[in-house]
Amino acid sequence: MSQRTEGAGGTRGFTLIELLLVVGLIAILALIAIPQYLKYIDNARLTVGIATLDSIRPNMEAYLNEKGQYPVSINFANFTDQDGNRVVISTDASLVTSKLFSWNSYVVSGLSYTITAQALDSKHTVLNLTPHGITR
């Protein structure tokens, strides 16, 4: 145990070595915790992107049931089709567009479609929505 000397005011203080050890331990803990926290946030952003795309699929199926075909084109700014009809009805279009980094393309072929978008995670993971589900 180290001896602490009394200062001019009669109080005891920490030595420089003790303070450096505490600061060093805090730095080591931060080096471990911060990357884990950032990874957690990144995974959450990817999950939100997947959930957002998944919320569009029932709307696309409802459109197919109502119109007999998938939309020829989609305006991703407000999720309307080529005739100005809303494609996404169950959710606010601005909420859907804000949950992903970018909406890249929409391709329709008969009774199938592919919507390609990028998630908000650090890698901007490319996500593809088809009638069968979501792929990365």
The mean-pLDDT minimum among 3-12, 35-44, 101-110 falls in 3-12
Q: Is residue 5 part of a domain?
A: no
Contact between 80 and 74 (Cβ < 8 Å): yes
Number of domains in the chain: 1
3-state class of 114 per DSSP? strand
Q: Is residue 105 part of a domain?
A: yes
What distance lies between CA 65 and its chain's CA centroid? 31
Domain that holds residue 88: 17-135
Q: Is residue 62 part of a domain?
A: yes
Contact between 93 and 85 (Cβ < 8 Å): no
Query: In the structure encoding, which two tokens stand for residue 36, read together?
Result: 């884990």
CA 47/CA 120 separation, integer angstroms: 10
pLDDT digits (tens, 9 = 90+) for 63-83: 999 999 999 999 998 999 999
Where residue 6 falls among pLDDT bands split at 50, 70, 90? low
CA 87/CA 36 separation, integer angstroms: 38
Q: Is residue 61 part of a domain?
A: yes
Contact between 115 and 125 (Cβ < 8 Å): no
Q: Is residue 6 part of a domain?
A: no
Q: Is the pTM of this model over 0.75?
A: yes
What is the per-residue pLDDT for 34? 95
What is the per-residue pLDDT for 36? 94
What is the per-residue pLDDT for 90? 80
- DSSP H/E element including 134: strand 133-135
Query: In the structure encoding, which two tokens stand for residue 124, read together?
Result: 């901007």
